[in-house]
Structure 1
């Protein structure tokens, strides 16, 4: 059986744990602790190490889902969990302060995973924002990183269907990069 390792990243409260729970076919392993930073996100608990779930794409393919903590003080876990990862689903609260800048910061932080397999952005809580933001994010990413193409979707992190679209988009990207990597290596010689 082949498998993929996918990270879920983004700021605290963006919906990473919820998204993994929406997708996982096994009981999600979570490392939640009492949230001591209510100013950053008004929620009772926060991830302090990781969330873990699994989903089978088909009989021959499994995806391991790892959620990283959203708080920068736990960013050492980002490095540890990114070592085996092939791509990242970046979740950003569309109704947060400076969400476009936040998305760009996280893309830069996880850019090695873009090069390895891909990044897909899911805008959560977009229903609370008066305008459609996909174009704004796409334009900001194009201005900041003109040679980078990152799909952007509005999603409900609680929705299995929405999260499956994000996951399958990323898995397709990863598999495409893996398929063409040998060709690119031969051309580089």
Structure 2
């Protein structure tokens, strides 16, 4: 059963939809630490997260989920460990339009390995409407080769229901009895 206060981490490469996902599901106005992009990120978007994003999801009167989004750029990787402390699970978002989203998957699995040793993982694949491959099954097969079987979903990070599906899958992996 989730405790009264829970912390879920959203991670992934620049442009995967972390900030957008948190904004879509948060019950409060999200806190954002965006700054103007000044490097190759500028090719993908005008602003980027430099510290973290924060939102809150109130499950019921006594139980809430704190949503923390990490910066996607590797140069801010020092924030990944800081933000991950106390996390009960990881939502890894991958942008299917990036040059090598499978490499991104491998990179972020390794980068968040300390958290994943103790917490479940859910993967959301964004922008599949723009680039169909790799598909969900391809990601699932690759993860199985790594000995991992996390839930993998196609998501539109702008849609509350899609992000809710990711969060619920993560909570169900923590406590399968929640479905009842």
TM-score, length-normalised on structure 1?
0.86
Q: Is the 8 A contact 1:49 1:77 kept in 2?
A: yes
Matches within 5 A, 1:36-185: 36-39=38-41, 41-131=43-133, 133-143=135-145, 145-146=146-147, 148-175=148-175
Measure, in 2, the Cα distance between the counterparts of 1:130 and 1:169: 23
Shift of 1:39: 5.0
Q: Is the 8 A contact 1:6 1:88 kept in 2?
A: yes
* Structure 1 gaps, min length 5: 177-189
Deviations 1:42-89 (A, max 9, x none): 211100000000001122210000000000000000010111111110
**Over the residues paired in the alignment, what is the CA RMSD in angstroms?**
1.6
Measure, in 2, the Cα distance between the counterparts of 1:80 and 1:131: 33
Matches within 5 A, 1:2-21: 2-21=4-23
| Structure 1 outlier segments of 4+, above 6 Å | none
Shift of 1:17: 0.3
**Farther off after superposition, 124-133 or 46-55:** 124-133
Deviations 1:162-186 (A, max 9, x none): 000000111222235xxxxxxxxxx
Deviations 1:19-57 (A, max 9, x none): 000010111111110001245742111000000000011
* Structure 2 gaps, min length 5: none
Measure, in 2, the Cα distance between the counterparts of 1:137 and 1:47: 26
Aligned residues: 174
Considering fraction of residues, name the structure with more helix. Answer: 1
TM-score, length-normalised on structure 2?
0.91
